[in-house]
Amino acid sequence: MKIASPKLETAHLNANDEALRWCKTALEQKDRGDYLGAQETMHPLWKRVGEPPKTTGLESSVAAEVLLCAGILTSWIGSRNQIRDAQELAKNLITRSMTYFESSRDIMKVAIAQSEIAYCYYREGTLNEARSWLHDALKKLTFEGAARARALLKLTTVECSAGRFHHRGWRGQTGASLCRWHSLPVGRKRFLPEAAGLSKPAARDDAGGWSKRGRRAPFCRP
């Protein structure tokens, strides 16, 4: 039985705050695997994959967040539903958001956008491009936290797909950072869907790519 997503109460918010609330909620729903709910939440701004989101009247910083959110959802939904050219559409949306983040010198957001573009390349099977974008992102994400953990987990997936999982050059640094993140108290971290694949049997993942998955992430000790 399908459970309807809860209705967001945003009547008390202005247009910019309302848009930010929709983006935040939609990405949280995506992280839980509720892609239909994420689309429903973003529907006032973004109708479907292949259609640009509405950003008219929004502040530039908010418009950038909307573009980023729509790009992330386009990539994930496009991969799950095998929508042609979805990854290219996603890259274009995310690149537009990154242009604003670069102009405002928001290094964290630039890095997040880069890591999402990297995953678009991964879903297309272009692993060298994905690796390059992720390395650029990680150079900017110098502090431990969810954004860096996500990028490292994306890199893990890329390297597994390329058969480089046991390459010492990246494995040691990746493992150390991920283990520090895993050791945080539950209240200081949130579930990252990218981590789910590290403890499941080998299979085609929900991002549309192949990854070599072990019984436990071998760079973390129990």
| CA 133 from centroid of its chain's CA atoms | 13
> What is d(CA 32, CA 123) in angstroms, rounded to the nearest whole number?
20
Cβ atoms of 64 and 100 within 8 Å: the answer is yes
Average pLDDT over residues 27-44: 95
Summarised one tens digit per residue, pLDDT across range 83-109 is: 999 999 999 999 999 999 999 999 999
> What is d(CA 87, CA 44) in angstroms, rounded to the nearest whole number?
22
3-state secondary structure of 95: helix
Q: In sequence order, what DSSP letters do the residues of 142-180 get, joined into one string?
A: -S-SHHHHHHHHHHHHHHHHTT-TT-HHHHHHHHHHHHH
> What is d(CA 150, CA 190) in angstroms, rounded to the nearest whole number?
11
Domain extents in the chain: 11-105
Q: Structure pTM? A: 0.77
Question: What confidence category does residue 144 fall into, taking pLDDT thresholds of 50, 70 and 90?
Answer: confident
Question: What confidence category does residue 7 fall into, taking pLDDT thresholds of 50, 70 and 90?
Answer: low
Cβ atoms of 153 and 194 within 8 Å: the answer is yes
For 53, phi then psi, to 5°, come to -75, 160
**Maximum mean pLDDT: which of 7-21, 27-41, 154-168:** 27-41
Q: Write down the pLDDT at residue 169.
A: 53
Beta bridge pairs of residue 72: none
The alpha helices in the chain, defined as continuous H runs, are 15-31, 35-42, 60-80, 86-103, 107-124, 127-140, 146-161, 168-182
Contacts of 100 by beta carbon, 8 Å cutoff, 6+ apart:
60, 61, 63, 64, 67
Beta bridge pairs of residue 210: 204
